[in-house]
Structure 1
């Protein structure tokens, strides 16, 4: 149990290294949280800093998730514990912790991103078969609606449904509990987006709305 707690703490600290904020300091472009939506994640970076900056933030934040669940659980542990924790539990705990670190980073005043990119990195390792379907759900929703927040929620829902219906683990398993918890976390971090959508105030990615552009170009 001590091993799980220590490695989860390390994962949280890793998650607290914010790609957007670190890049902002290195490039002299300032605090990403002072622009656009005030969020430190890849979506706001893409909107306010451009494609190259946004994709770099996405890559860094996703890499945190990959490293947290791929490397940290495999670190040698010198102690022999009476209550041994399965490796899968440690990996999933690290996945939760690194995502929470991204959302509430200790190094940046506990104000970070919404966790989507980091969670993507976690899922690439823990449920790789579900990732293409989740990304497909994201793209389809974004093309049809233009809402990045709604698209992220759809991706998280597809991930949960894949674990529940098509994975060997099923919903009533550690992986199922993880997928359920992460879906609820994504809903929570995007609650303001949902409220703005309900009021008709949420910004859209107009360039991504290929369906509308295609319909508008028809004679």
Structure 2
């Protein structure tokens, strides 16, 4: 049901997602706009690549919080707007989360030049299906520790979510969540096209998990 409250919530979710964490932290503490280095994206992955874990971890956590907070705006709006039935409520959660992801991709506060939305997308997943999201974390961390490729870890985490909601946590989900999982995989493939190309060529940058990396340009 479309109401002034639901429209306002969607706008608020978009604005929440638009907070350019990587840009603001990079400029405030390092005097660096991460969009001018590395892959040119204003996200956690490029922040890890350009500035190291001391900057990358806060950016990642805040970006996750953006997605989680925006999605959970549904709790504050209540069933009078979401329509009451659980399926309608889930639909509205997804709509709010997607608005936040779009805000991260095209942030109004940073000239519409954002990141790839993976951390914000994960925050959305965490709010919708916590169990499946935790499985994604485990896979992400394992792949990252083995390969040190954040991009590959994100891709594997995204496909793990679809696998989880389809086979392991389907008792707590519905067809809409499975379709959403498919959309996540498609979005990840689209936004990581260049990363996939570099991975196949062996040219993808690895994250240094233990030291601050010097700022360098990546073609």
Query: Aligned partners of 1:76 and 1:123: how far apart in 2?
Result: 19
Indicate whether 1:123 and 2:129 are aligned: no
Q: CA deviation at 1:105?
A: 1.2
Which of 166, 180, 183 does residue 182 from structure 2 map onto?
A: 180
Query: Aligned partners of 2:8 and 2:206: how far apart in 1?
Result: 41
Query: Aligned partners of 2:11 and 2:31: how far apart in 1?
Result: 30
- Matched residue SS, 1:75: helix
Q: CA deviation at 1:28?
A: 5.5
Q: CA deviation at 1:189?
A: 0.9
- Matched residue SS, 2:163: helix
- What TM-score does the superposition give when structure 1 sets the normalisation length? 0.83
Q: CA deviation at 1:74?
A: 2.8
Residue aligning to 1:214: none
Contact preservation (8 Å) 1:196, 1:202: yes
- Matched residue SS, 1:175: helix
CA displacement, residues 172-214 of structure 1 (integer Å, 9 cap, x when unaligned): 6222222221221111111110011222221123658xxxxxx
Residue aligning to 2:194: 192
CA displacement, residues 105-131 of structure 1 (integer Å, 9 cap, x when unaligned): 122122111111111211221111012
Residue aligning to 1:143: 145
Query: Aligned partners of 1:117 and 1:76: how far apart in 2?
Result: 24
Query: Aligned partners of 1:182 and 1:7: how far apart in 2?
Result: 22
CA RMSD of aligned residues (A): 2.3
Written as runs of structure 1 = structure 2, the 5 A alignment for 1:43-62 is: 43-62=45-64
Q: CA deviation at 1:30?
A: 2.8
Residue aligning to 2:76: 75
- Matched residue SS, 2:28: helix
Higher normalized contact order (CA 8 Å, seq sep 6+, divided by chain length): 2
- Matched residue SS, 1:30: coil
Q: CA deviation at 1:157?
A: 0.5
Q: Which has the larger radius of gyration?
A: 1
- Matched residue SS, 1:40: coil
Unmatched segments (≥5 aa) in structure 2: 211-219
- What TM-score does the superposition give when structure 2 sets the normalisation length? 0.83
Residue aligning to 1:212: none
Residue aligning to 2:35: 33
Query: Aligned partners of 1:42 and 1:166: how far apart in 2?
Result: 29
Unmatched segments (≥5 aa) in structure 1: 209-219
Q: CA deviation at 1:154?
A: 0.4
Residue aligning to 1:18: 20
Q: CA deviation at 1:40?
A: 0.9
Query: Aligned partners of 1:26 and 1:116: how far apart in 2?
Result: 23
Assess, with a 3 A threshold, how the Cα gap between structure 1 residues 129 and 36 changes in structure 2: closer, same or farther. Answer: same
